[in-house]
Structure 1
């Protein structure tokens, strides 16, 4: 039940965030057409497309982990028997993944809270608010952390995939 709920959350977030790629591609195309076809560049497109790409990049971490799309080097691990592989994976989560994501979560929260309190904006031609992107870092860390819990539970229970 917990595994399925976490997996569904990251699946839904991933599918929603993928739409951002289409949006920021459209903004870039619009800016290029305005700049070169009409000699009327926009002042906001570059900053906005950078922010949307930032949302896109950070919020897909949990989705990527769910689908095992992260970088792995299994040259040695694949030679071990399944029981040893499970122990090594669990140790990797305990020693590296969870401490990293916890630090990512707590630091990004502080980072976002400070930015939000200051009403921080970009320094570009148009002062776009940057605190939503910094808050997205915190959300991304939370999504990554809970997906890690799901993956550990799958390892412990001996399951690789859970039906949607």
Structure 2
């Protein structure tokens, strides 16, 4: 039940956030059209697309982990039996993943709160607030941590599922 809840949350967020790619592509096309066809460049498009790409990139971490789309070095584990491979992967979560995810989550939250309290904005000609993107980093870190817990528990309980290839 816990696995499906966390996996479902990251699946839903991944699918919703993937639409952002279409939106920022449309904004880039609009900006190029306005710049070269109408000779009226936008002042806001670059900052908006840069921030949207940031949302897109960071919020898909949990989704990527759910679909095992992250970088792996299987040189050590490919020769191991499935039981030993699970042990090595579980140790990897304990030694590397969870400390990284914890630092990412706590530091990005502090980073976002500082940005919000200062009213931080971009430096461009249109000053957009930066804190939403920084808050997205904290949310992304929490989603990554939750997905990591789900994956770790799946290893511990030898839970196997067929992950859809919608990644």
Q: TM-score range by the shorter chain?
A: over 0.9
**TM-score normalised by L of structure 2:** 0.96
How many angstroms does 1:125 deviate by? Answer: 1.1
Gapped runs of 5+ residues in structure 1? none
Q: Which residue number corresponds to residue 10 of structure 1?
A: 10
Q: Which residue number corresponds to residue 52 of structure 2?
A: 52
SS state of the match for residue 46, structure 1? helix
Q: Which residue number corresponds to residue 21 of structure 1?
A: 21
Q: Structure 1: which 4+ aligned runs deviate by more than 4 Å?
A: none
Q: Distance in 1 between matches of 2:113 and 2:102?
A: 16
The answer on 1:114 being equivalent to 2:114 is yes
Q: Distance in 2 between matches of 1:122 and 1:150?
A: 36
- Note the alpha carbon deviations across 1:31-89, whole angstroms, 9 max, x for none: 00000001100000000000000000000000000000001010221101111101100
How many angstroms does 1:163 deviate by? Answer: 7.4
Gapped runs of 5+ residues in structure 2? none
**TM-score normalised by L of structure 1:** 0.97
Q: Which residue number corresponds to residue 30 of structure 1?
A: 30
1:38-77 equivalence runs, <5 A? 38-77=38-77
Q: Distance in 1 between matches of 2:76 and 2:60?
A: 28
Q: Distance in 2 between matches of 1:40 and 1:160?
A: 55
C-alpha RMSD of the superposition: 1.2
Q: Which residue number corresponds to residue 147 of structure 1?
A: 147
SS state of the match for residue 69, structure 1? coil
How many angstroms does 1:160 deviate by? Answer: 3.2
Q: Distance in 1 between matches of 2:67 and 2:110?
A: 29
- Of 37-46 and 70-79, the range deviating more from structure 2: 70-79
Q: Which residue number corresponds to residue 156 of structure 1?
A: 156
Q: Distance in 2 between matches of 1:104 and 1:34?
A: 39
How many angstroms does 1:156 deviate by? Answer: 1.1
